[in-house]
Amino acid sequence: MFTNKKAWFSKSVNEDIRRLWVSEGGAIVCWRAAEYLFSNDASCCDTRRIFDSVDYVEDRATVFHSAYISTCEKTQSLESVLIGHYVLPPASVQKEVRSAVGRFIWEQGEAFKWTTHQREASPCCNVQQYPVNNMLRGYVCIDELRKYSGELHDFLPGHSGYSVSKVHI
């Protein structure tokens, strides 16, 4: 299942998960050479080093919760498990994320994760089948977007009379 895929594992990840990765054909490498970075604890010192790295700040690295691997094992498929649900944000961001979307998928009970993915028949599923947490909300279908033919510019807060502020509801 993980053949020819390279991963780094935080010290916070259980040894059984690492063995599963290797038994399914995956390799364990240093974090800079890895395609996947797995951790169970955003506050673990090795995971914090990644969050503090230039690679993470410049969006060249993403840390995932290792529950992704066990969910893939249960479904016997990488295609039916949405890895985006397993993004592990820094500890300083987690409280804010929880207040916006609820518990993370790896904080749900095992039965919830298993039945959710068991229902999914294909890699592309209807939004209604997504778990209640970590789901996309208010999305627009690409077919509904109007074509824009003008020139695009980067948005820089504080320039050209625009600013960004957080609204507390």
Residue type, 59: D
Highest mean pLDDT among 4-13, 103-112, 145-154: 4-13
Q: Which residue has the higher pLDDT, 116 or 30?
A: 30
- Could you tell me the two tokens for 74? 């249960």
pLDDT digits (tens, 9 = 90+) for 16-40: 999 999 999 999 999 999 999 999 9
HSE-CB of 106 using CA atoms within 13 angstroms: 22
pLDDT digits (tens, 9 = 90+) for 130-149: 444 444 455 566 667 777 77
Q: With b meaning 16 or more CB within 10 Å and e meaning fewer, what string describes 47-59?
A: bbebbeeeebeee
Topology adopted by domain 6-144: Rossmann fold (3.40.50)
Q: Which residue has the higher pLDDT, 151 or 18?
A: 18
CB-neighbour burial class of residue 153 (10 A; exposed 0-12, middle 13-18, buried 19+)? exposed
